[in-house]
């Protein structure tokens, strides 16, 4: 029987009361199937042999006043295939619960703590769950999106899905009926790393726009002037874009050259389109199949002046 073998975290921010889900797997479009959230209610990640109606039932029960653990127990009681399911839940108060049926593909397991639950199946081992839980706890005080992202990065570094990588998603739910953030990476060789890149840009370019959107119970108004000015610029010229100073710093780190402004601007024009590919290549460890090779994309330009 096919399964969506996944690792995920559901969490709640004790300060903002926002809830969220971060998830990754080795099939496309995980963000369209696993994460479920509802304002003022909670967040759910349904995985393994995915049952979206199970997540909906959990959210309905929590909306009626049930805690995360009670809502999960009620939903599972009515599910004859519960042993094939894996599901993580956190309610708006930060109470969390998780379930890993005995029919999930190994390695599988979960860990529940204050304000979060991490779970995964078909993983490289228990170190994935342990690393995610540790990263979540170490991120106390940080923004919810950042905290969830760090947990996912820790799980990815620890091994993640043993089949490989393909998609990842991050969803944050605030008080509005629409999500505060809903990011997805599909069909990518390094989806968690790409999700981090997208999140960094979204925090600078998208979050200010969403914060200015109409709110329930408040009269709609015009977009803030600073947001209008931000979005009027070309994407590459906005904060985090390829023309931003942050990209120049990344280019200096990737090439190993001194941070000479003129030279960096010259190299930026040459390498901006492939900078992410350079970073990806440098993250690949091929020592087991080939002797170490020094990759220096700047060599042809050593004697060229900007």
Residues of the chain with pLDDT under 50: 1-2, 261
Distance separating alpha carbons of residues 139 and 263, to the nearest angstrom: 37
**Per-residue pLDDT at 116:** 98
* CATH architecture group of domain 6-205: 4-Layer Sandwich (3.60)
**Per-residue pLDDT at 1:** 39
Element (H, E) at 7: strand 6-12
Distance separating alpha carbons of residues 301 and 289, to the nearest angstrom: 30
- Tens digits of residue pLDDT in 99-114: 999 999 989 999 999 9
Contact yes or no for 143/18 (Cβ under 8 A): no
Distance separating alpha carbons of residues 196 and 178, to the nearest angstrom: 22
Residue-range domain boundaries for the chain: 6-205, 245-301
**Per-residue pLDDT at 283:** 61
Distance separating alpha carbons of residues 231 and 282, to the nearest angstrom: 33
Q: Which residues share a beta bridge with 97?
A: 89
């Amino acid at each position: 029987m096919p399964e969506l073998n996944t690792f995920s975290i559901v969490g709640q921010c004790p300060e903002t009361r926002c809830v969220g889900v971060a998830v990754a797997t080795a099939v496309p479009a995980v963000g369209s199937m696993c994460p479920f959230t509802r304002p003022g209610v909670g967040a759910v990640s349904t995985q393994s042999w995915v049952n979206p109606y199970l997540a909906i039932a959990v959210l309905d029960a929590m909306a009626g006043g049930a805690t995360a653990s009670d809502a999960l127990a009620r939903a599972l009681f009515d599910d004859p295939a519960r042993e094939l399911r894996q599901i993580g839940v956190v309610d708006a108060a930060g109470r969390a619960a998780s379930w890993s049926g005995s029919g999930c593909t190994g390695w599988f397991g979960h860990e529940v703590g204050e304000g979060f639950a991490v779970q995964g199946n078909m993983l490289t081992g228990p170190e994935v769950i342990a690393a995610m839980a540790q990263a979540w706890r170490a991120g106390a005080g940080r923004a919810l999106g950042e905290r969830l992202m760090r947990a996912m990065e820790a799980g990815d570094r620890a091994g993640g899905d043993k089949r490989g990588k393909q998609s990842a998603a991050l969803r944050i739910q605030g008080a509005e009926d629409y999500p505060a953030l809903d990011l997805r990476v599909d069909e990518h060789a390094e989806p968690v790393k790409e999700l981090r890149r997208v999140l960094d840009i979204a925090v600078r370019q998208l979050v200010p726009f969403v914060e200015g959107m109409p709110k329930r119970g408040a009269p709609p108004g015009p977009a803030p002037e600073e947001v209008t000015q931000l979005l009027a610029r070309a994407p590459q010229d906005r904060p985090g874009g390829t023309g931003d100073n942050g990209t120049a710093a990344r280019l200096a780190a990737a090439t190993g050259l001194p941070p000479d402004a003129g030279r960096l601007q010259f190299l930026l024009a040459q390498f901006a389109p492939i900078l992410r590919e350079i970073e990806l290549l440098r993250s690949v460890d091929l020592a087991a199949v080939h002797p170490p090779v020094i990759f220096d994309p700047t060599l042809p330009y050593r004697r060229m002046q900007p």
